[in-house]
Structure 1
């Protein structure tokens, strides 16, 4: 499942091996089907080298020795020796026990006990082997209870399939013929060329072709790993659900959630509650309560207090909005991440908010729409549209289109606070080591800054106008202004500056809205400003 540019999701694994198990394990019932008939059907002795009547156990038995051949219904059996108890309708067989029928089934063991009245068959041996076509079950203890329609082993069994390419091991195995259900318990290991399943308990229903997992379960495929403690997979409809402590780990991404749903046929994935996606190749993490993934159109949606964390070498950026949405651009080459509405981000040296924003891989940019505002250290930056361009982990430049305004608090101790201000139709801010270094103001540029003496006292307020100007900053203070067309500048003595003169038109100081720490991005504050006339 693709998420923010990568493919991640429940590994594209199938369980055809389990489908084959049904046609195989059901043969346990066929083996003893003849013995399960009413008492009227007797065991038929076809031959033996010797037949001796034996009363040594207090019950008369027909003791057969050497090349013993027995038939019961459609089932045949060979062995070295056997005891047939006609009165109790039971039998015992020893040595090279071989059971077979006309359908190609073969069962091998060292001994067999069959109880006709209770319809219980017990096969024992160092290597009890049940073979049908290219499938083989190997165990030491194999029972089949025809009354309850269940076959089982309990001391370890290994099933080989598909010309020994696939195998399933468990310490305990049960097959319920009436419900067409197989249960494998304790150290279940299913291996195929495409995937490996390790589980505490695995149930499979041949009718629905659905597998259920219980207890810690690991599914590994081509370097990808799925973990769950409860879940199921529908092989017929290509749907998988993992519902307890589920996670998926691929080479470059990790996905965690309380439950994971994946429809392979439709290419749809959903993750519910406590969702975390970690992308180690792009150094970011996404968290939320719900994630929707569409493999067909490569889109993703995150809801429920979503947060995107971008990791840098010495810092991290935290972004929150009501919705995070990811898709590709029209070229299908570049990923776009949309955050809306009420998008806010926090980084130690920069914070921002807008109604919506878009991360773009096309030019490594962040574009902020609808009343965007950015705080870069002491500077407050506003415009109708703001775009940040990055180079690697650092900000390279920032464009501010239409009604651009930069404000910084110069002095908060005086009766009327002093603010340095720059405004223009549009601006381009240039950054050095993530600090605003210079600003190009294009069209109708106006600036106000307070000039200081070396001793720290204020000389006056400088108000400048120019069609184009470049302002150079040092530690967020105005260092130099270069006028490039129709300049006007006036320095007003500080004693002559009135409160009315200190603010440019459209001045707003919105520091109360600024996220001061990471947790603040979840607390959207409406605008509260001091506005100049």
Structure 2
């Protein structure tokens, strides 16, 4: 009995399955004629087709889609609808489409519109010559030029696809956007009429009202908030700054730009380049921060200066020192026909030298004439001075300068002079293993053509230098002390030491004192820390 019941159930299930397989697809929704349609007639064609003709404020419905026009013809055999004059399609209130002529396939629910075609979703208006609109998928396509107006933004392209459900328009070929704030050109772009978000997927060029330009290959831009994110090696340029990076995030409202991956920031007003894997820049304050192997290049025609560190930061001097309003007012010019000073444009803020930069941890400096290292650095464009702190070392040709703090002054972006404070020590390598030395509490030095030319040492000054004859053979070692001491160099090599007061000294024949034993206290030769080439700073 159980076996028979099971066989019966299997037979019934088979019949249900077979019936399901042979059942027709969902039936096509019928077309309903609605008032105020005024006239209706029928006409038979020689091929046997029957035409249903409607005229006079025609209104028909298929499902939730309404069609309006002046007159309408339906071929009941081919299921093709043609509408003429003031055509209007209301697609479930999702989109409204207008045209002069409509050819509509009732079964496939595809509409082909020509003549003054307009599509709107309540946010943007698309106009074109011809449009194909699929009511089943709610997708409209144009291939002969289109124009979308959304508030004050106007987008044009040769081709486009409109997705009514999500309010996206995919523009293709010769895409242009005109906005009061931006002009844009690209070959492909996706734009959302509701969110006003533009997404780029190919080479794109933008220019805003201030003259700033953006070149990118991929990213998005929110036209309402001004927030944007770009990738695929983007370039942004304005009057004072150029930035490039693998990824760039830009916020117009805050003025913050974030660059990630092979970042480049070019400060055109200062002649400075910043390279780093992460850079933050504030357009409103003019400050920028670089991390992840940052490198600063102070550009000049010859002998550019390269600075590397763990972190680089730059901003305005007036923001650092918080110049009082009274000083700013004195510096500000008085506007024409005004009794009050123009405090909005003080000279201090507009001065191109109103800037500084700081470097922290593992600071390295390289130029062809001078190299240096330290733990931290402060540089002011106002006085063109590098202030090196925490175990600083400066090298010039065969000379090495150390101390607790070193000020390296530049002139026309070249080393001009230096000051060393506390534990000042200069070592000049005469040859490998032979070192002339000077130490004191304080030193002031001068450069000439990229070489140390003179040094003034004061406060417990000491020196050791090797005497040479006319054939450059070493004859003796002179070790002296003095309260004041002047040291003279010739083409980068120590040439003469002049003692000023409280003088003590000994001259020892070279046969009695080896170069290895001729060392002042705290002597150190730090050549291994010296940057040998600018390329080391890129590593």
TM range (shorter): 0.7 to 0.9
In structure 1, the residue matched to 2:321 is: 330
In structure 2, the residue matched to 1:5 is: none
- Structure 1 alignment gaps of length 5 or more: 1-36, 524-533
Task: Select the structure with the greater relative contact order (CA < 8 A; seq sep ≥ 6).
Answer: 1
Cα offsets for 1:110-156 (capped at 9, x unmatched) = 5321334433322124x545689997644221122211122221222
- Corresponding pairs, count: 472
Further displaced range: 314-323 or 341-350: 314-323
1:172 to 154, 159, 163: 159
Further displaced range: 422-431 or 269-278: 269-278
1:186 to 165, 173, 179: 173
Change beyond 3 A, Cα 1:301–1:64: same
SS at match of 2:33: coil
Once residues 472 and 499 of structure 1 are traced to their aligned partners in structure 2, the CA distance between those partners, rounded to angstroms, is 21
**TM score, norm. by length of structure 2:** 0.77
In structure 1, the residue matched to 2:281 is: 293
Once residues 201 and 459 of structure 1 are traced to their aligned partners in structure 2, the CA distance between those partners, rounded to angstroms, is 80
- Structure 2 alignment gaps of length 5 or more: 1-27, 324-348
Once residues 144 and 202 of structure 2 are traced to their aligned partners in structure 1, the CA distance between those partners, rounded to angstroms, is 20
Confirm or deny: 8 A CA contact 1:54 1:63 kept in the other structure. no
Are 2:151 and 1:159 equivalent residues in the alignment? no
Once residues 123 and 200 of structure 2 are traced to their aligned partners in structure 1, the CA distance between those partners, rounded to angstroms, is 26
In structure 1, the residue matched to 2:376 is: 356
In structure 2, the residue matched to 1:254 is: 242
Are 2:135 and 1:119 equivalent residues in the alignment? no
SS at match of 2:161: strand
1:485 to 487, 501, 509: 501
Are 2:456 and 1:440 equivalent residues in the alignment? yes
Once residues 283 and 41 of structure 1 are traced to their aligned partners in structure 2, the CA distance between those partners, rounded to angstroms, is 74
Change beyond 3 A, Cα 1:56–1:250: farther
Once residues 404 and 80 of structure 2 are traced to their aligned partners in structure 1, the CA distance between those partners, rounded to angstroms, is 92
Confirm or deny: 8 A CA contact 2:68 2:86 kept in the other structure. no
Cα offsets for 1:420-446 (capped at 9, x unmatched) = 111110111112233211111121222
1:465 to 466, 481, 485: 481
Cα offsets for 1:268-288 (capped at 9, x unmatched) = 432221222233443332222
Are 2:58 and 1:59 equivalent residues in the alignment? no
SS at match of 1:504: coil
Confirm or deny: 8 A CA contact 1:97 1:112 kept in the other structure. no
SS at match of 2:165: coil
Alpha-carbon offset, residue 227 of structure 1: 2.2
Q: CA RMSD in A?
A: 3.4
Change beyond 3 A, Cα 1:45–1:93: farther
In structure 2, the residue matched to 1:216 is: 203
Once residues 46 and 113 of structure 2 are traced to their aligned partners in structure 1, the CA distance between those partners, rounded to angstroms, is 23
Alpha-carbon offset, residue 343 of structure 1: 1.2
Confirm or deny: 8 A CA contact 2:86 2:100 kept in the other structure. yes
In structure 1, the residue matched to 2:73 is: 83
Change beyond 3 A, Cα 1:298–1:57: farther
Change beyond 3 A, Cα 1:295–1:278: closer
In structure 1, the residue matched to 2:366 is: 346
Confirm or deny: 8 A CA contact 2:303 2:369 kept in the other structure. no
In structure 2, the residue matched to 1:146 is: 135
SS at match of 1:506: coil
Are 2:297 and 1:309 equivalent residues in the alignment? yes
Alpha-carbon offset, residue 218 of structure 1: 1.9
1:428 to 437, 444, 452: 444
**TM score, norm. by length of structure 1:** 0.78
- Map residues 510-525 of structure 1 onto 2, 5 A cutoff: 510-521=526-537
Confirm or deny: 8 A CA contact 1:241 1:262 kept in the other structure. yes
Cα offsets for 1:288-317 (capped at 9, x unmatched) = 222233456654332222222222212222
Once residues 150 and 131 of structure 2 are traced to their aligned partners in structure 1, the CA distance between those partners, rounded to angstroms, is 18
Once residues 295 and 424 of structure 2 are traced to their aligned partners in structure 1, the CA distance between those partners, rounded to angstroms, is 28
Alpha-carbon offset, residue 373 of structure 1: 0.5
